[in-house]
Amino acid sequence: MPFDETVSTFPEHREPLLITLSSQGKNSRLVPEPFDAGDLDDLRPAEHLPVLPDISEVETIRHFTRLSRLNFGIDQGMYPLGSCTMKHNPKISEEILSRFAAIHPADRRAMQIILSSIHTLAGFLQEICGMDACSLWPAAGAHGELTGMMIIKKAVKAVGQDRTTVLVPDTAHGTNPASCSIAGFITKNIPSGPEGFVTASLVQKHLDGDVAALMLTNPNTLGIFEQEISRIATILHENGSYLYMDGANLNAIMGISRPGDMGVDCMHVNLHKTFGAPHGGGGPGGGPVLVKKTLERFLPVPRLERDSSGLFHLSLHYPDSIGMVHSTLGNVGVLIKALTYLLSVGPDGIRKAAATACLNANYLKKKLRETFDLPYDTPTLHEFVLSDRKQKDAGITTMDIAKMLMDAGFHPPTVHFPLVVPGALMIEPTETEPLRELQRFTDAMERIAEMCRSGPGSVRNRPQSTPVTRVDEVHAARNLVLTWKDAESIGSEQVSK
């Protein structure tokens, strides 16, 4: 997409709802009316019947195809959204899952196949993370964090203590403090050291008899490995506190180093970031929680067990458990996709994926570090953070750079996060981007920086090539439209400058 494009490629296009396209007699229903439809209608009063659009197959397909083109997806191009690990999701995972989906309703034999598959996944995760036991049920990363914090709360109570505080560094993921609070803890924010990682001496200063745990995102949101994690684990344990690791960034270390070996007591992983299940729109995801032996009895129920004849069962008989956190089997489709990913790439494959994710991020960092401000020079793994400091003199901000990248055909990086970097641009290319795409991204970033120097006016008021151009965020925040109205009654001028 040329940068000097100023005319929207989607002039005035507002996709109508299917119900608007509907007109009587066009329906694409291919199945005949059920034999006893009259009886069914009697069972369900007419006023409760849903109003479905009457629309032909070709119009339906075109509607959804047009909608999909209004969005940007990982199958279209690079999506370097830091902290989200937007990697390519292998299509084989969808293919295998579709075979599982076909066994519905599942008989006893099919259930055994499903239970044995997810049991295998749990074993793989324990091995990769160096942990002793696992619950696969949490439905997302933040849900895993909450489950982990509930486990720690119960473990603290079980020994008659009333520790109320969890330490959370300023480089933690944004969901961490929220999960602690929802689990009933008080969150105490602690600063990271000058090199972007948490130091043992700093943790020591904040430890007292009230601290239940430290919640450490590792690698953290600057992409930096927490180098003092083992010493931190030791001093926490000496204080009777637990080390919780937000393992959502496992993509950087899987197959190379294991949190369990670093002294971590409890952690979660994000299957939808690391093991090739789509990540977006809020789910469905998978946030399995892994614990050391000491915390195993508190894991959620049901627990997956195998009897002496080799059959799998789900058991509720765990009196110390925190209880159920999801309907039985969690988001089982995501679990099957993660297992497929692991079986298809194997142990060498995950190691190579982690190493390549780090290599790709470091390639970009090296290419861009002179042109953009690099606030932390500590070596990074799978992602890195730049800032807009060098472009600020020309009046260009992080938001302008991110929006301009859309006109260059990229999804923008994460912006204004982590909070320790003002004007942050957090870039995570992942291992699945080819060198050509990385080069295209560096060319685009260099070009933007050049335009900031020579004529910053053309960088503002972007994007221009998207269905919705630059949004007036202040106006949008002050004039919330929370219910659907057709395009004419909203008026495009209300949402676009």
Ligand X SMILES: Cc1ncc(COP(=O)(O)O)c(C=O)c1O
Question: Measured from the CB atom, is 83 or 227 closer to ligand X?
Answer: 83
Footprint (CB under 6 A) of ligand X, residues 256-275: 270, 273
136 binds ligand X (CB under 6 A): no
Q: What are phi and psi of 217, to 5 degrees?
A: -80, 125
CA distance 189 to 185: 12
Determine the 3-state secondary structure of 261 from DSSP. helix
At 345, which amino acid appears?
V
**DSSP assigned state of 47:** G
217 binds ligand X (CB under 6 A): yes
| Binding segment (CB under 6 A) for ligand X, from list 88-96, 134-142, 189-197, 255-263 | 134-142
Instruction: Tell me the chain's radius of gyration from C-alpha atoms.
Output: 25
Question: Measured from the CB atom, is 217 or 340 closer to ligand X?
Answer: 217
141 binds ligand X (CB under 6 A): yes
CA distance 232 to 264: 10
Among 122, 131, 134, 142, binds ligand X (CB under 6 A): 142
Question: Measured from the CB atom, is 55 or 420 closer to ligand X?
Answer: 420
Question: Measured from the CB atom, is 432 or 464 closer to ligand X?
Answer: 432
Total of residues contacting ligand X (CB under 6 A): 15
Phi-psi domain of 359 (left: phi exceeds 0; alpha: psi -120 through 50; beta: other): alpha
Smallest separation (angstroms) from ligand X to the CB of 196: 15
Count of Cβ atoms closer than 10 Å to residue 453 Cβ: 12
Taking each helix axis as running N to C, give the angle between helix 141-158 and helix 175-182, from 0 to 180 degrees, rounded to the nearest 10.
40
CA distance 332 to 286: 9
Smallest separation (angstroms) from ligand X to the CB of 42: 45
Question: What's the first-to-final CA gap in the chain, in angstroms?
Answer: 22
Question: Measured from the CB atom, is 216 or 448 closer to ligand X?
Answer: 216
Structure tokens, 353? 């994926």
Burial class (CB in 10 A: 0-12, 13-18, 19+), 98: exposed
Q: Which residues contact 175 (CB under 8 A, 6 or more apart)?
A: 141, 142, 145
215 binds ligand X (CB under 6 A): no
Question: Measured from the CB atom, is 271 or 394 closer to ligand X?
Answer: 271
Smallest separation (angstroms) from ligand X to the CB of 261: 20
Q: Which residue has the tokens 């160096």?
A: 130
Smallest separation (angstroms) from ligand X to the CB of 387: 20
Residue-wise DSSP of 90-143: -HHHHHHHHHHHTS-S--HHHHHHHHHHHHHHHHHHHHHHT-SEEE----SHHH
Question: Measured from the CB atom, is 139 or 449 closer to ligand X?
Answer: 139
Question: What sign does the dihedral 476-480-483-489 (CA atoms) show?
Answer: negative
Among 3, 83, 165, 360, binds ligand X (CB under 6 A): 83
Smallest separation (angstroms) from ligand X to the CB of 411: 14
Among 55, 74, 78, 84, binds ligand X (CB under 6 A): 84
Among 86, 167, 199, 246, binds ligand X (CB under 6 A): 246
Residue nearest to ligand X (CB): 141
Question: Measured from the CB atom, is 287 or 463 closer to ligand X?
Answer: 287
Among 126, 165, 175, 199, binds ligand X (CB under 6 A): 175
Applying CB under 6 A, the residues found at the interface with ligand X are 83-84, 140-142, 173, 175, 217, 246, 248-249, 270, 273, 285, 287
